[in-house]
Amino acid sequence: MTTAPNQSAGMALLEWYDRHGRSLPWRTRQGEAEPYRVWLSEIMLQQTTVAAVIPYFERFTARWPTVEALAAAEDDDLMTAWAGLGYYARARNLLACARTVAGQGFPRTADSLRQLPGVGAYTSSAVAAIAFGERVPVVDGNVERVVSRLIKLGVPPKTAVATVTEAVEAMLPDERPGDFAQAMMDLGATICTPKSPACGICPIRGWCAAAADGSALDYPKKLPKRAKKTWHGVSFVVAAPGGRVLMRKRPPKGLLGGMLEAPGSAWGEIPDNPFAHAPLAARWSEAGSINHVFTHADLTLSVFTAQLPRPMPVKGCEWYCAQTPVATLTRKVLTRGLATLTPEP
DNA sequence: CAGCCGTGGAT
DNA sequence: TATCCAAGGCT
């Protein structure tokens, strides 16, 4: 029989964190971190790996060193800087949030942070704990997994938020709530991993019911996964001299909201007449197709391409530099189309 | 509240 | 290739 997670486990975890915690660009060595950097990193890290975030974080903080600087950014510049990172609603919320906070500083409690756009239960508590030292439980995916194993939680953690939160509160030390939150996440990221947990070197295995009977891989219990849709569509890559390419801006909300794309059809059933969706009359070349995986759908786009002698006005579209940062899907389409126009030897 | 919302890396 | 999944939030 193991001891249920308690404050001693929390303190053991803090000692481990002091020796083995990761060094990351948004972390400071001692004391409270800059709220701006903590908030920015937490938004970027939503459902996004540390490795993917780091270069974006470095670029953002170099270009916009303060929340006031970020608040003064143009919408298009912000979206362009975010291009490739995904979940673009985060970028729109980021800017709205910065403009709300600029000049008066961030709210300093989880409850007040929670009112900001794009800041939910996790992010509000994480920023409050890490940047302002509020003693609140922080529950992310890592913590859900760690706790599921500690107490052998028999249901998916999303369906037992109160139980998970109570377990974290039971462990929460009196001091250093921010370090404790980051320690839990580091433990989940480096020791208590999804597929190969290193229970043998875990600093809190003495409190872990799953480690005690070798059942860590049975947790967390998973929700049944839902079926994916398959979408089809057509895209048209139109090039003009000077490295120009024709694009349009997607509607501000929804999938890839506010991002640039090559003109073409809506996505769904296979279009019966692809050229009905062409932005203009031209001699089209087939450029093959590209595949793209969204969280909830697989997309296949047939790409057609044409070269114009010069840029000309097209309703609903504008001409852009082909190197403009765009969402990954659009980058795939442009690359495919432009490669067909200028084939490699 | 279950579905929507990106992407890239690991296995 | 298929699948999972990574510091979630919104509706």
The tens digit of pLDDT for each residue in A176-195 reads: 999 999 999 999 999 999 99
d(CA A200, CA A334): 49
- Residue with minimal CA–C1' distance to C10 is A118
Residue A232, amino acid: H
d(CA A189, CA A182): 10
Q: What residues form DSSP beta bridges with A298? A: A230, A293
Q: How confident is the model at residue A31 (pLDDT cuts 50, 70, 90)?
A: low
The separation, in Å, between residue A281 CA and nucleotide C11 C1' comes to 40
Q: For this structure, is A42 an active site residue?
A: yes
Other CB atoms within 10 Å distance of the CB of residue A90: 19
Percent of chain A with pLDDT over 70: 98
- The answer to whether some atom of strand C lies closer than 7 Å to the beta carbon of A117 is yes
pLDDT of A345 strictly over 70: no
Do A289 and A220 form a contact (C-beta atoms < 8 A)? no
> In strand C, which positions have an atom below 7 A from any protein CB?
3-10
What pLDDT score was predicted for residue A325? Answer: 97
Per-residue burial over A141-174, b = 16 or more CB atoms within 10 Å of its CB, e = otherwise: bbbbbbbbbbbbbeeebeebeeebbebbebbbbe
d(CA A275, CA A8): 67
- The answer to whether some atom of strand C lies closer than 7 Å to the beta carbon of A226 is no
Q: What residue ranges do the domains of chain A occupy?
A: 7-218, 229-341
- Residue with minimal CA–C1' distance to B11 is A195
- The answer to whether some atom of strand B lies closer than 7 Å to the beta carbon of A225 is no
Nucleotide nearest to A296 (CA to C1'): B4
The arithmetic mean of pLDDT across residues A210-233, rounded, is 94
- The answer to whether some atom of strand C lies closer than 7 Å to the beta carbon of A106 is no
- The answer to whether some atom of strand B lies closer than 7 Å to the beta carbon of A195 is yes
The arithmetic mean of pLDDT across residues A301-311, rounded, is 97
- The answer to whether some atom of strand C lies closer than 7 Å to the beta carbon of A125 is no
Give chain A residues 65-94 with Cβ within 7 A of strand B.
84-89
Residues 6+ apart with CB under 8 A from A141: A188
Selecting among A42, A134, A144, A261, the annotated active-site residue is: A42
Give chain A residues 53-82 with Cβ within 7 A of strand C.
none
DSSP string, A52-116: HHHHHHHHHHHH--SHHHHHTS-HHHHHHHHTTS--THHHHHHHHHHHHHTTT----SHHHHTTS
The separation, in Å, between residue A340 CA and nucleotide B2 C1' comes to 42
- Residue with minimal CA–C1' distance to B8 is A52
Q: Which residue has tokens 């506010």?
A: A258
What pLDDT score was predicted for residue A126? Answer: 97
Residue A163, amino acid: T
pLDDT of A299 strictly over 50: yes
Q: Mean pLDDT across chain A, nearest whole number?
A: 95
pLDDT of A84 strictly over 50: yes
pLDDT of A33 strictly over 70: no
Residue A332, amino acid: K
- The answer to whether some atom of strand B lies closer than 7 Å to the beta carbon of A193 is no
- At the topology level, CATH places domain A229-341 in Nucleoside Triphosphate Pyrophosphohydrolase (3.90.79)
**How many CA atoms lie less than 13 Å away from A23 in the CB half-sphere?**
2
Predicted confidence (pLDDT) per residue in A113-147, tens digit:
999 999 999 999 999 999 999 999 999 999 999 99
Predicted confidence (pLDDT) per residue in A247-286, tens digit:
999 999 999 999 999 999 999 999 999 999 999 999 999 9
Q: How confident is the model at residue A2 (pLDDT cuts 50, 70, 90)?
A: confident
The helix (H) or strand (E) run that includes residue A238 is strand A229-240
- At the topology level, CATH places domain A7-218 in Endonuclease III; domain 1 (1.10.340)
d(CA A254, CA A194): 31
